Amino acid sequence: MRPARTASSDTRARILEAARRIIVERGYPAATCQGIARAAGVSRPTLHYYFASREEIYDCLVEQSRNLLAECAERAMRYDTLVERLTEFGLRLREVDSRDRSTIAFLISARLEGMRNRELGEDPAMALREFFIELLADAVAAGELPSDIDIESAVEVMYTVLWGLGFYTGFVERSTDMLVLAEQLENLFASA
């Protein structure tokens, strides 16, 4: 018999949250089904009721991350200017991080784990490149950026800045520092 719907979704969410924390703190190889079950406060058979393997859990975490980033990008694109869009994107990422500190840290970890463990598949943040390309192309079309800008190189710079901020936010940040950093980054984009 399947658990009640609310209890079922809560249990599934606890398993995913526990797996995300373990991956962030100790890496994918340490995320065993037994360890995830223990951290989630469920038995191993209960974990396997929801997920067939740790790979399935990881894939679900990657999909959640991909969806969160897509939602942040979609909300940012509702604004008109490059600075407004970047500001909104940053605010949405901060909001995600404030709900669960392991979310942004998982994005960084997933990028690294994917490089170390090729079987894990695509980096959940690969779609960010497409977002940045659209963002910069729109800014060129609107005259916010010069028409001769090398969009590909600019995207790489933005991607690098995002990973640096993600690392800082996920692993280093003190909350007061992040607000100052976000303001300075916004000022930098506004004046550049």
* Mean pLDDT taken over the chain: 85
Reference 125, options 96, 150, 145; nearest CA is 96
Q: Encode pLDDT of 104-153 as tens digits.
A: 888 888 888 877 877 887 777 777 888 999 999 999 999 999 999 999 99
Are 84 and 138 contacting, i.e. CB atoms less than 8 angstroms apart?
no
Are 72 and 96 contacting, i.e. CB atoms less than 8 angstroms apart?
yes
Reference 114, options 102, 126, 104; nearest CA is 126
Reference 73, options 96, 51, 57, 54; nearest CA is 96
pTM: 0.82
Q: Encode pLDDT of 38-55 as tens digits.
A: 999 999 999 999 999 999
**d(C-alpha 32, C-alpha 161), whole Å:** 32
**d(C-alpha 97, C-alpha 169), whole Å:** 8
Residue 104 confidence (pLDDT): 83
H or E element at residue 67:
helix 54-76
The larger pLDDT score, comparing residue 157 to residue 185, is at: 157
Residue 8 Rama label (left phi>0; alpha psi -120 to 50; beta): alpha
Question: Is residue 7 over pLDDT 80?
Answer: no
**d(C-alpha 2, C-alpha 4), whole Å:** 7
Answer positive or negative: Cα dihedral of 45, 40, 92, 97.
Answer: negative
The larger pLDDT score, comparing residue 148 to residue 163, is at: 148
Residue 1 confidence (pLDDT): 47
Mean pLDDT across the stretch 22-26? 93
Q: Where does the pLDDT of residue 71 fall: very low under 50, low under 70, confident under 90, or very high at 90 and above?
A: very high
**SS3 state at 163:** helix
Reference 108, options 91, 95, 93; nearest CA is 93
Residue 170 confidence (pLDDT): 66
